[in-house]
Chains A and B, each alone.
Chain A
Amino acid sequence: MRYIKWIFWVVFVVIVFAFFHYTLPQRDIVRVTGTEIIRQDFSGWNRIFYAQADAGNEETVNRDLRLINTAYEGGGIMVFRNEDTGFGWPWYFKLDSSNLQAEAADLVSTRDAPIWVAITHYGWRNEFLTIYPNAISVREVSGPDVRLIPWLNIIIFVILGLLLLGLYRLLQRFKRRKIDPLVAQVEDSWDRAEVKAAQAGENARAPVRNFFRRWFGS
């Protein structure tokens, strides 16, 4: 039983962590090496990791996908997709994928004359599922070692913490003001019922006891 509890909590924590890791924005400092558009045929496995068609368009089985190819300072690479999240989940309300593609194309640079940019993105790159993180915005920065403080994430976690605390207070109050009086009432009537039952039992046993007492004198 203890192991099941442990497994439950481990799975729970992993899911919560994965959820935030996938959904919250992160910033990578990269050099844009190019932009391209490929046709993407979604499968049942990876459809969930893509947003929907651009905000003004019709949703179809497959469609073109904008990609931004980038390189890190150390030589690693990352490919971002560039999709409208529109008014769907996650709530980035991004409607300007085409504009972002134009900005990214404008920032393309070579290894010899690098332009470093911070790409805000969410999501994961996974080669087995063919999924890409979604770029939200791109901003030029002075160099590859710039320190970026994730203010937005800090604010989101603070607000989430406050909401949880509020929910806890609400439930506590609800228990104290609504549930506890009800329980007390039930306990009261239960106690009364018990006394009554004991009385009834006593009444039922009395004639038998009297009979034995009369006949055997004990």
Chain B
Amino acid sequence: MFAWVRLAFMALILMTIVYLCLSWYSRSVRREKLEKEFDAGGIDGDRQAFIDKGLEKYSGSLRAKLIWGVYIIPFVLIAILVYVTNFM
């Protein structure tokens, strides 16, 4: 009975690593996009302030929230696999 606790624990650690990497990656992509947008010209004000504002908007966006799927999808997948291998 202990095996699934161990699996869940390992999976949580692994998924946290994946989550951190992915959220950093996605944020970095957005930051670069904002930098390029500003550098293309036509925007008044401070560069850093523009980027910070854009990133703040990104934090509340659906794209940023979708990364939580890293935690959800594996558990859904496991549930489906348990059903398919044993009860179908």
Chain A interface residues toward B at CB < 8 A: 52, 55-56, 86-88, 91-96, 99, 136-137, 169-170, 173, 177
Q: How far is the CB of A171 from chain B (nearest CB, A)?
A: 10
In the complex, identify which listed stretch (B1-9, B36-44, B45-53, B55-63) lies at the interface while the others stay far away.
B1-9
Partner of A87, one of B7, B28, B86, B87: B7
Residues on the A chain within 8 Å of B1, using CB: 55-56
**A99 to B28 alpha-carbon distance, docked (Å):** 51
Chain B interface residues toward A at CB < 8 A: 1, 3-4, 6-7, 21, 25, 28-29, 32, 78, 81-82, 85-87
Count A/B pairs, Cβ under 8 Å: 40
Partner of A91, one of B21, B29, B81: B81
Contact A92 B85 (CB under 8 A): yes
Partner of B82, one of A95, A99, A173, A177: A95
**A91 to B86 alpha-carbon distance, docked (Å):** 13
Contact A88 B7 (CB under 8 A): yes
> Across chains A and B, which 3 residue pairs bring their CB atoms closest together, nearest first?
A87-B4, A87-B3, A96-B86
Partner of A96, one of B4, B29, B85: B85
Given contact pairs A93-B85, A170-B21, A173-B25, a sample of 20 additional A-B residue pairs in the complex whose CB atoms are under 8 Å apart: A55-B1, A55-B3, A86-B3, A87-B3, A87-B4, A87-B7, A91-B78, A91-B81, A92-B81, A93-B81, A93-B82, A94-B86, A95-B82, A95-B85, A95-B86, A96-B85, A96-B87, A99-B86, A137-B85, A177-B28
Residues on the B chain within 8 Å of A86, using CB: 3-4
Q: List 26 A-B contacts (CB under 8 A).
A: A52-B3, A55-B3, A86-B3, A86-B4, A87-B3, A87-B4, A87-B6, A87-B7, A88-B3, A88-B7, A91-B78, A92-B85, A93-B78, A93-B85, A94-B85, A94-B86, A95-B85, A95-B86, A96-B85, A96-B87, A99-B86, A136-B85, A137-B85, A169-B25, A170-B25, A177-B28
Residues on the B chain within 8 Å of A88, using CB: 3, 7
Partner of B86, one of A52, A93, A177: A93
**A136 to B78 alpha-carbon distance, docked (Å):** 16
Q: How far is the CB of B60 from chain A (nearest CB, A)?
A: 23
**A52 to B3 alpha-carbon distance, docked (Å):** 9
**A182 to B81 alpha-carbon distance, docked (Å):** 45
Q: How far is the CB of A95 from chain B (nearest CB, A)?
A: 5
**A99 to B21 alpha-carbon distance, docked (Å):** 42
Nearest residue (CB) in B for A96 is B86
Nearest residue (CB) in B for A53 is B3
Residues on the A chain within 8 Å of B4, using CB: 86-87
**A93 to B85 alpha-carbon distance, docked (Å):** 7
